[in-house]
Amino acid sequence: MYTVDYSQNEAQSTHKQLIVLDLNGTLVYRQKRPNGSRVLIPRPGLQDFLDFATKNFAVMVWSSAQPASVLGMLDAGFGEHASQLVRVWDRRFCDLDGDYFGKSSSVKDLRRITDGFNLSHSVNRTAYKSYNGYTGVNTENPGQWQLEDIILIDDSESKAYLQKDNHIFISTFSGQTHDSELGVLQTYLQKYLDNKDSFPHLLDYIKGSSWLDYRKEATRVNDEEIEIEMSD
Ligand SMILES: [Mg+2]
The domain at 6-226 falls in which architecture?
3-Layer(aba) Sandwich (3.40)
* pLDDT value for 1: 66
How many angstroms separate the alpha carbon of residue 26 from the centre of ligand 1?
5
By DSSP bridging, strand 28-32 and strand 95-96 are unpaired
pLDDT digits (tens, 9 = 90+) for 182-231: 999 999 999 999 999 999 999 999 999 999 999 999 988 777 777 776 55
pLDDT digits (tens, 9 = 90+) for 5-21: 898 999 999 999 999 99
3 state DSSP class of 152: strand
* pLDDT value for 229: 62
How many angstroms separate the alpha carbon of residue 29 from the centre of ligand 1?
9
- Pairwise pLDDT comparison (165 vs 232), residue with the higher score: 165
Please list the residues that pair with 62 across neighbouring strands: 89
How many angstroms separate the alpha carbon of residue 94 from the centre of ligand 1?
13
By DSSP bridging, strand 38-42 and strand 150-154 are unpaired
Q: What whole-number distance in Å separates Cα of residue 19 and Cα of residue 63?
A: 13
- Is pLDDT at 86 greater than 70 in this prediction? yes
pTM to 2 decimals? Answer: 0.94
* pLDDT value for 137: 80
pLDDT digits (tens, 9 = 90+) for 155-170: 999 999 999 999 999 9
Q: List C-alpha distances in Å: 111 to 44, 152, 175, 197.
A: 31, 12, 32, 26
Percent of the chain residues topping a pLDDT of 90: 79
How many angstroms separate the alpha carbon of residue 35 from the centre of ligand 1?
23
How many angstroms separate the alpha carbon of residue 159 from the centre of ligand 1?
9
How many angstroms separate the alpha carbon of residue 101 from the centre of ligand 1?
17
* pLDDT value for 131: 76
